[in-house]
Amino acid sequence: MPDKLPNTSDDGILSLERIKTIPGYPGDERIEKGPVVVIECDEDIPCNPCEDICPKKAITVGEPITNLPRIDPAKCDGCIVCISICPGLCMFVVHKNYSKTESLIHIPYEMHPLPKKGMVVNGCDRSGERVCDARVEKVIESKKLNKTSIVAVAVPKAYFETVRAIRFEE
């Protein structure tokens, strides 16, 4: 008897095409310039804590609060404060040109144990499939983050749009 079911749905997985059309996408041009948040939120759920928490007022939801969050690419400096407040865990700060060959992806992480800096873990896509190695550069926990820790992983640049999760054995 198999342990895991086959998957038959696309639910929960936004395509890149779709992501690039939503207001939470800062634009290809801005992504080249430095760390910036990508808000992968595309449903009209009444929700706006991201708008409140951004210290640069770079996120707008407005009224009604079912509006999709809009990112102002000029104001966002990729400070990562918004990542942990999102109840949907769908905000990622991407630094495409972290180095010549690597991108740095900040992801929200709520599992135990946390990975350790320096570890090489599996970089996974939106369906949980491993796509590459990911090196843990930062692990950020603090009381303010309220148990939604942030893990920053360095991945080969080709995967900067794909890696949105990590997996590793203890």
Rule CB under 8 A: say whether 41 interacts with other proteins.
Answer: yes
CB of 59 to other proteins, least distance (A): 13
Nearer to other proteins, 31 or 85 (CB): 85
Task: Categorise residue 108: left if φ over 0, alpha if ψ from -120 to 50, beta otherwise.
Answer: beta
Placement of tokens 């896509």 in the chain:
125
Rule CB under 8 A: say whether 66 interacts with other proteins.
Answer: yes
Q: Is 79:91 a contact under the CB 8 Å cutoff?
A: no
Closest CA to 83 of 17, 169, 164: 164
Nearer to other proteins, 79 or 89 (CB): 89
Rule CB under 8 A: say whether 55 interacts with other proteins.
Answer: no
Q: Is 83:124 a contact under the CB 8 Å cutoff?
A: no
Q: Which residues of 145-163 are buried (b: 16+ CB within 10 A; e: fewer)?
A: beebbbbbbbbeeebbbbb
Q: How many CB atoms lie within 10 A of CB 11?
A: 6
**Under rule CB under 8 A, which residues in 122-151 are in contact with other proteins?**
124, 126-129, 146-148
Of 89, 131, 132, 140, the residue at the interface with other proteins (CB under 8 A) is: 89
Rule CB under 8 A: say whether 17 interacts with other proteins.
Answer: no
Looking at 25-33, 45-53, 71-79, 97-105, which segment touches other proteins (CB under 8 A)?
A: 45-53
Please state, in angstroms and rounded to a whole number, the distance separating the CA atoms of residues 89 and 136. Answer: 19
Rule CB under 8 A: say whether 49 interacts with other proteins.
Answer: yes
CB of 130 to other proteins, least distance (A): 9
User: Which residues contact other proteins by CB under 8 A?
Assistant: 1-9, 11-14, 40-49, 52-53, 63-66, 85-90, 110-113, 124, 126-129, 146-148, 164-165, 167
